[in-house]
Structure 1
């Protein structure tokens, strides 16, 4: 117990670091996509990530999944590609601040889908939080007067929905399987890299030749920190703390997106937008807390049953 307590500050710091780089990723992706186009920007991100993950797998002597495990990993790679594609196209057409906040809707939607998949229905208070988050979205995109979301806003909301499906599928399809995490992640990154390299076509080598130092820094940031670092830290951290604590700390992503968008990119956000941002963040945290309290009795029952069987 004592070693775990001593390691908790480091675990917390690294998990908050993941949230921070994910929050900053929207601005970096927006800058690269503005120069290269979305398919090329995402292709470069995952080519870098796949190469780095492959080197890690070599060092760890990690085997790639086979058979059904390979099919599952490839399918998850396809859904991940859809998430990143929608997200990057969305941030290309809206502000980095909006994108970072709207994607946090996945935090509210994921437990709903997980409850449907496991047939464990959430309490009514959870859906109150979900409605509050939707109201926050309406305020955020209003920009001085209620209006329909922009195309970019709509794409990021779609990315949040697909991300919720992707996270739910990842949890249910990979549970109790023998495949190593790094191998599954490598397959996903290879699928994403291959899909967007094909979409970029001949524009990819042309764009690579034109990238300057700042743009390469953004590509490496997206590939190494936002992709490889984030996955490794998640794997390491959840073995040393609770999943609920990890989820809460990484759930600070929209806060960092807001700070980066406003303080670094100079994006403006009005009074209604600030109110919407606060409502989205608060509703997301409230929804997570309600879902966690709802799940704890089931976890205790499962552990008691496991102890009695042993």
Structure 2
């Protein structure tokens, strides 16, 4: 019996590392897709496909996701607009490290919005993360470009989304896939409306197989498989263990960006990225109370 439990734990850990690898690769995949199609069109396709695949989840009890899903979807729309334009305007490795600052920002956002004072260790983590961002964006020759600034805005908005999700779903049984369906529908609809008002953002659908491979990869693996793996792992392990394993995402992102896109971080950049990862691990290791087991706790953020 003990051996079966341990085997299940190792399987869950392996799936989580696979998710971290997939999420780390998502920045390079999105960057490649944006070579073929504009940001708004790409997001409309990506989240439109997600919505269509998850539409059956809105039957019956899934309809309870409509009320919280609409405002949460608007925040998610802002996140992905910042994140996707940010990925296009900065390196995939920078994007992966900067977006992980969400983990450090979230406790402070909880303090502001939910009146939950962060642990004192988080102030050290914040100092480490700020030093990491300074090194990652040039150190003494600081050069925070627009893409980096957008990734920082996306990290801040992700923290807002986590806190808002906890507030809107507290004490309510809302299926995770149903909530993701509503949020995806809002993001897709918002991108279509914005695209129709901006010339050139919704051209004819691309014919390049590389674009459709990227879109399907993000929908099937970065969203659907990732949600399944997280939910399975949370049933077999602690939230802290899950979070620590997922904390390897930015490292995978930097490695994949180097191997696939030929991006190179210098020693100063690597030092900054590792400081950000260290700050993230400090934050996750504090052992805060996990959020209620409701739909949006983390999964829809990376849809």
Where does residue 73 of structure 1 map in the other structure?
69
Deviations 1:50-97 (A, max 9, x none): 122225x38xx664324xx52211111111111111000001100001
Are 2:190 and 1:185 aligned?
Answer: no
Residues 1:171 and 1:5: Cα distance change in structure 2 (over 3 Å): farther
Conserved? CA contact 2:33–2:210, under 8 Å: no
Under a length normalisation based on structure 1, what TM-score does the superposition of the two structures give?
0.86
- Distance in 2, matches of 1:258 and 1:164, equals 22
What is the CA deviation profile of residues 19-71 of structure 1, one whole-angstrom value per residue up to 9, with x for unaligned ones? Answer: 1111111111111123211101111111121122225x38xx664324xx522
SS, match of residue 63 in structure 2: coil
Structure 1 residues 273 and 233 mapped into 2: Cα distance closer, same or farther (>3 Å)? same
- Within a 5 Å distance, the mapping from 1:1-310 to structure 2 comes to 2=2, 3-55=4-56, 57=57, 63-66=61-64, 69-142=65-138, 145-201=140-196, 206-208=203-205, 210-290=206-286, 292=287, 295=289
Counterpart contact for 1:133–1:279, Cα < 8 Å: yes
CA shift for structure 1 position 195: 1.0
> What is the CA distance between 1:8 and its match in structure 2?
0.7
The offset of 1:204, in angstroms, is: 6.8
Number of the residue aligned with 1:308: none
Q: Considering fraction of residues, name the structure with more helix.
A: 1
Q: C-alpha separation between the residues in 1 aligned to 2:97 and 2:114?
A: 28
Paired with 1:113 and 1:295, the residues of 2 have a C-alpha distance of 15
Query: Where does the alignment leave 5 or more consecutive residues of structure 1 unmatched?
Result: 300-310
* TM-score using structure 2 length: 0.88
Name the SS of the counterpart of 1:211 in structure 2. Answer: coil
CA contact (8 A) 1:65 1:73 kept: no
Higher alpha-carbon Rg = 1
**Equivalent residue for 1:305?**
none
1:204 to 1:125, Cα distance in 2 relative to 1, 3 A: closer
Change over 3 Å in CA distance of 1:206–1:118 after alignment to 2: closer
Contact 2:133 2:272 (C-alpha < 8 Å) held by counterparts: yes
Task: State the alpha-carbon separation in 2 of the partners of residues 169 and 16 from structure 1.
Answer: 27
Long gaps (5+) in structure 2: 293-303
Contact 1:48 1:224 in 2 (8 A): no
**Aligned partners of 2:96 and 2:110: how far apart in 1?**
23
